[in-house]
Amino acid sequence: MQRFAEYYNVDVALVTDEDLLQDVLNLGDYQVRFSSPYVSELGMFSYALVNQRQEQTGSDDANIWLNSDCKTSHCDFKACEPSWLCDSNSSHIFGVSQMTSTPSMQLAKMKANAQTLAAYLKQSYVEEEVKRIESTGQYQNWGLQSRLTKVDATGHLSLLLNTKICTAKNYIFGLFDAPFETKNTYGKVFEQWLREPGIDDKAGVVGSFSGMTADGLFSTSVKYAIKDGLVQLAKIKHVNIDHEFQLTFKNGWYTLSKSTESTSATVSGTLMDLKVVEEDRKLVIYAWLIEN
């Protein structure tokens, strides 16, 4: 009931325990039906079917659906099972969580991760500075590069509704309906948007991340892929490049070049698609973003 009230902005302060025992609970413009409890070794779960009163589902159909057997779904990225792992035609965002001490905490962590990703996509402030120095000479050849990147989410937390879940080893993946557009309505498959991320007159980029993160969380890898894409969007909007070059002939000869590339911009991106592939025994996350 707490999750329902939060997402649908409904006051449930007057709902009593007796009300919850009814087959159908009427709350404002909504009707709520609760499923029979699903009990596993982790705990007890309940699901709520919510309909607007003018779009009521037949009670018989709803009861059959709510009381059907609940089976744990396993995430298989290669086989796209369940199919929503590869579905790019609906407004959604992913949330991920590692195993926690209780199922309720794992569900809460999964939602918090989805909210973090949503905040980055709504609006982010990006700063990046890249410095390169190269020197060649008769007796030496060297180069140095440094990169400092900062991406701060400035968007507000979104109200997200978890609709699907699957598990993979110690992780749980959840699909959340997002209140903003995050969908691939152009039908581009992964191979297409990887080569040509732009659409019409909108700038498009592909961010990526591979390898391990400091905290070992898959959700952090997804966040870094999105951050990488946001940095590229910021560079499209604004980039300042300063370059110096020097060529000297004395005792021998040498060249020295120095360049500084700086970016500072506020960007907002639409997450069109996410793709997880396995390359050289590592999971690589690709995030396709279009500038809002």
Contact 262, 240 (CB under 8 A): yes
For Cα atoms 122, 123, 128, give the angle at the middle one, nearest 5 degrees: 140
Tell whether 83 and 35 lie within a shared domain: no
Q: How far apart are CA 50 and CA 41, in angstroms?
A: 27
Residues 63 and 147 in one domain: no
Write out the residue range of the structural domain in which residue 62 sits: 1-71
Domain boundary among 71, 106, 127: 71
Q: Of 71, 99, 120, at which residue does a domain stop?
A: 71
Question: pLDDT digit string (tens) for 16-69?
Answer: 888 877 778 887 778 888 777 777 766 777 777 777 765 555 555 555 555 566
Residue carrying the six token digits 């080893």: 169
43: left (phi over 0), alpha (psi -120 to 50) or beta: left
Domain count, the chain: 2
- pLDDT tens digits, the chain, 292 residues: what are they? 777 777 777 777 778 888 877 778 887 778 888 777 777 766 777 777 777 765 555 555 555 555 566 667 888 877 878 888 776 555 677 788 877 787 778 888 888 888 877 777 777 778 888 889 998 887 788 899 888 888 887 766 667 888 888 887 777 888 887 655 545 556 677 888 888 888 888 888 899 988 777 776 677 888 888 888 888 888 888 888 888 888 887 777 788 899 998 888 888 877 777 777 777 767 788 888 888 7
